[in-house]
C-alpha cells in the first residue's frame, strides 16, 4: 500500500484541436503574394523582350531626371508641367523650347584625347536623347489632334542616324496630295501645321524630301516624278514657313522621285509616295555676326 502521507498524483488530459486551428490561413496569403510576384516578374520579362530599342530609349528618357517635373503645376498631359530649366513646360503641353544640345567646353580638359573622346560621346548621347524626346513630342502632338484616328495610318515617326523623322505616306485609295499635284489635302495641311509647331520648339535644322513611287509619270510640259516630288517638298516647306519656321532652320529641300522607296521590294507601293521631314542631329548654323 502506498504511503498515506504521499501527495495524490493528478493526471490532466488536454484535448488538442485540429491542424487548421493551429496554422490558420496565413500560409494562403503568403502563397498568393508569391504567385502575384512571379506573375509580375514574368510579365516584366515578356515586356522587355517585346519592346523595340527605340521604345526602350523613349521609356528611359521619359523617366530620366531631366524630363521629370519638379513642380506639381501643369495640365497633367504627357511631358507637361514646369521643368527645372529656366524655360520649361508651362501647362500648354509643349516641351521646353530651344534647349542647347551641347554644353560649352571646359578649357581644363582641352588637349586630353581621352577626356575629349568622353565629352564627344556625352554630347552625342545628349543629342540622341533630345531627338528621342522630339519624336515623343511629335507623336503626342499628333495623338492630340481631333482627326488622329483618320491620320494615324498615314504617319510614321522614328529616329534615324540623321535625326528624328516624320513621314507622311499615302495609303491605297487615299493620297496625301491631290493626284499629280503638289497641293496637299486639307487634313495634311492641318497636320503639317501641328508638325511645324513642334519643330519650332527645337533649334535643329530640318531636311524636307519628297518621294514618289516607281511608276513613270508625265505631266504637262514634261512634268516628271522628279518635278512632282520636288514640288511637293517645296509645298511642304511653304506650309511650315507660314507657321513661322525661319529660313535659317532649313538645311535642304529635295525631290527624290522614286529613287529612295520606303519599300524597295515593291517600288510601286502607294506608301512609297510620301513626304519626309527630318529634325537633323545637329545644332543650328549661327548667323555670321554671332
Q: Which residues contact 9 (CB under 8 A, 6 or more apart)?
A: none
Q: What is the pLDDT of residue 85?
A: 39
Asked whether residue 93 is domain-assigned, the answer is no
Please indicate, yes or no, if residue 61 is contained in any of the structural domains.
Answer: no
Q: Which residue has the higher pLDDT, 233 or 153?
A: 233
* Other C-beta atoms lying within 10 Å of the C-beta of residue 157: 19
> Residue 243's domain is classified under what CATH number?
3.30.1330.60
Mean of pLDDT values over 117-142? 78
pLDDT, residue 12, reads 64
For residue 240, give its domain range: 126-280
What percent of the chain stands above pLDDT 70?
68
Q: Comparing 129 with 20, which gets the higher pLDDT?
A: 129
Angle between helices 113-143 and 53-62 (to 10 degrees): 90
* pLDDT band at residue 259 using 50, 70 and 90 as cut-offs: very high
- 167 C-beta neighbours (distance < 10 Å), count: 18
Asked if residue 157 belongs to a domain, the reply is: yes
Domains contained in the chain, number: 1
Instruction: Tell me if 188 is assigned to some domain.
Output: yes
Q: What is the pLDDT of residues 40-59, one digit of tens each?
A: 888 888 878 877 776 777 77
**At CA 234, angle to CA 231 and CA 240, rounded to 5?**
145
Tell me the three state secondary structure of residue 222: helix
pLDDT score at 265: 93
Residue 14 confidence class, pLDDT cut points 50, 70, 90: low
**Average per-residue pLDDT for the chain:** 74
In tens, the pLDDT along 135-157 reads 787 788 777 777 666 777 788 88
Domain presence at residue 114: no
Decide if 231 is inside a domain: yes
Q: Is the pLDDT of residue 103 over 80?
A: no
Would you say residue 243 lies in a domain?
yes
263-280 pLDDT, tens digit each: 999 999 988 999 999 999
What is the pLDDT, as a whole number, of residue 99? 38
* Whether 157 contacts 276, CB under 8 Å: no
Residues 45 and 135: their CA atoms lie apart, in Å, by: 26
* 202 in a structural domain: yes
The pTM (predicted TM-score) of the whole model is 0.56
User: Is the pLDDT higher at 232 or at 125?
Assistant: 232
What is the average per-residue pLDDT within 99-119?
A: 56
Question: Residue 156 pairs with which residues in a beta bridge?
Answer: 167
State how far the Cα of 63 lies from the Cα of 69, in Å rounded to an integer: 10
Tens of pLDDT, residue by residue over 28-45, are: 888 888 989 999 888 888
C-alpha cell at 168: 507622311
Average pLDDT over residues 210-226: 84
Amino acid at each position: 500500500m502506498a504511503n498515506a502521507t504521499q501527495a495524490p498524483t493528478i493526471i490532466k488530459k488536454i484535448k488538442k484541436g485540429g491542424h487548421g486551428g493551429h496554422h490558420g490561413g496565413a500560409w494562403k496569403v503568403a502563397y498568393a503574394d508569391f504567385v502575384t510576384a512571379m506573375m509580375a516578374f514574368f510579365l516584366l520579362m515578356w515586356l522587355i523582350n517585346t519592346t523595340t530599342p527605340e521604345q526602350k530609349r523613349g521609356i528611359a528618357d521619359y523617366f530620366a531626371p531631366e524630363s521629370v517635373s519638379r513642380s506639381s503645376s501643369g495640365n497633367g498631359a504627357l511631358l507637361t508641367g514646369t521643368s527645372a530649366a529656366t524655360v520649361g513646360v508651362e501647362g500648354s503641353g509643349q516641351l521646353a523650347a530651344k534647349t542647347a544640345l551641347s554644353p560649352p567646353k571646359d578649357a581644363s580638359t582641352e588637349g586630353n584625347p581621352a577626356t575629349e573622346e568622353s565629352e564627344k560621346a556625352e554630347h552625342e548621347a545628349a543629342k540622341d536623347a533630345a531627338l528621342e524626346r522630339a519624336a515623343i513630342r511629335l507623336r503626342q502632338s499628333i495623338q492630340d489632334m481631333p482627326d488622329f484616328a483618320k491620320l494615324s495610318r498615314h504617319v510614321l515617326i522614328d529616329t534615324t542616324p540623321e535625326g528624328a523623322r516624320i513621314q507622311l505616306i499615302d495609303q491605297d485609295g487615299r493620297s496625301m496630295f491631290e493626284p499629280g499635284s503638289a497641293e496637299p489635302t486639307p487634313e495634311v495641311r492641318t497636320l503639317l501645321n501641328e508638325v511645324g509647331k513642334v519643330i519650332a520648339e527645337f533649334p535643329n535644322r530640318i531636311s524636307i524630301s519628297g518621294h514618289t513611287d516607281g511608276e513613270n509619270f508625265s505631266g504637262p510640259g514634261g512634268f516628271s516624278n522628279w518635278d512632282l516630288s520636288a514640288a511637293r517638298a517645296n509645298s511642304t516647306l511653304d506650309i511650315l514657313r507660314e507657321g513661322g519656321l525661319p529660313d535659317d532652320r532649313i538645311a535642304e529641300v529635295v525631290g527624290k522621285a522614286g529613287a529612295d522607296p520606303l519599300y524597295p521590294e515593291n517600288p510601286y507601293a502607294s506608301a512609297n509616295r510620301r513626304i519626309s521631314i527630318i529634325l537633323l542631329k545637329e545644332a543650328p548654323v549661327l548667323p555670321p555676326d554671332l
